[in-house]
Amino acid sequence: MSKALVYQTDFGTSDGAVSAMYGVAYKVEPTLRIFDLTHDIPQYNIWEASYRLVQTVQYWPEGTVFVSVVDPGVGSARRSVVARTRTGQFVVTPDNGTLTHLKLMVGLDEVRLLKEDVHRLQGSELSYTFHGRDVYAFSGARLASGQLAFDAVGDTVPVDSVVELSHVAAHREGDTVEGTIDVLDVRFGSLWSNIPHELFAGLGIEHGKRVEVSIRNDMREVYRNTMVYARSFADVALFEPLVYINSVLNVAIAINQGSFARAYNIGTGLSWKVTIRRAPRIVYE
């Protein structure tokens, strides 16, 4: 039986691009099951493409083939690759940083070069700008359907050589954990940090206790307040802030039924740092 094929792009779904990618895969194998991760990656935003993969991949079975096309360098010398994660899923993608989070957080088992002139939809030779359709969807479908074995994709390349975007690991310093704000829970405006729940757990703070949260953009502090470390939103009053462990088991910061990001103009990326510590007691003397 074929494996699932899952698409991610920054194309949106307002024109025919994604549907052409579906058609190509359907032609390869009409019984193939094709799904979407998202097509709303902000244009050219490789970091977010990388994050959405790590957020999702583990919920799909071994053998699932992801095709991720955020490809500002289409037509340049950037490589195309197929990676197998340590948990057994495949990712077909330009090697432009899209594999960053999977490499760091899940691990890559083996990576193979995908030659764009070999693994290519017949008749697409004049088209130089839509590898998503002509190369990636086509090859992903052949891989998912078993028509192309992983071993036959192309030469292996060292996992070390896979392009990584800059990143800074979260760390603990005494009673404080510090990390970056990696991404937003888009619709709800919660801040998702790169602080793993185990690192935070080292501080020994229990659910229901208060923590102090400080957020900096470069050197400038843009937010500082104390709030409850809660299990879930409903543990705090409406419109109150909270710290919680999110669905990928990292520390996150939110407002119950509000957008933290919009309320305080918080962005994402390496320049956005967050530190968390047990809230100080306030003593009147």
- Asked if 10 touches a copy of itself (CB under 8 A), the answer is yes
Nearer to a copy of itself, 127 or 283 (CB): 127
Nearer to a copy of itself, 13 or 156 (CB): 13
Nearer to a copy of itself, 123 or 281 (CB): 123
Amino acid identity, residue 121? Answer: L
Number of residues that bind a copy of itself (CB under 8 A): 69
- Asked if 281 touches a copy of itself (CB under 8 A), the answer is no
Torsion of CA 85, 91, 93, 97, to 10 degrees: -30
Output the smallest distance, CB 178 to a copy of itself, in A: 22
144-152, 163-171, 179-187, 209-217 -> range binding a copy of itself (CB under 8 A): 179-187
Handedness of CA 192, 193, 196, 199 (dihedral sign): negative
- Asked if 14 touches a copy of itself (CB under 8 A), the answer is yes
- Asked if 22 touches a copy of itself (CB under 8 A), the answer is yes
Contacts (CB under 8 A) with a copy of itself, residues 39-78? 39-40, 43-44, 52-53, 55-56, 59-61, 64, 72-76, 78
DSSP string for 126-146: T--S-HIIIIIIHHHHHHHTT
- Asked if 88 touches a copy of itself (CB under 8 A), the answer is no
Q: Residues, the chain, total?
A: 285
- Asked if 206 touches a copy of itself (CB under 8 A), the answer is no
- Asked if 267 touches a copy of itself (CB under 8 A), the answer is no
Closest CA to 266 of 225, 233, 221, 226: 221
Q: Around Cβ 170, how many Cβ atoms within 10 Å? A: 19
- Asked if 127 touches a copy of itself (CB under 8 A), the answer is yes
Q: Provide the edge-to-edge strand list for the sheet that holds 156-157.
A: 34-38, 5-9, 65-69, 90-94, 80-85, 108-113, 156-157
> Tokens for 89?
């899923």
- Asked if 6 touches a copy of itself (CB under 8 A), the answer is yes
Nearer to a copy of itself, 110 or 185 (CB): 185
- Asked if 253 touches a copy of itself (CB under 8 A), the answer is no
DSSP state of 106: I
- Asked if 222 touches a copy of itself (CB under 8 A), the answer is no
Beta bridge partners, 251, equal: 245
- Asked if 147 touches a copy of itself (CB under 8 A), the answer is no
Closest CA to 193 of 167, 220, 175: 167
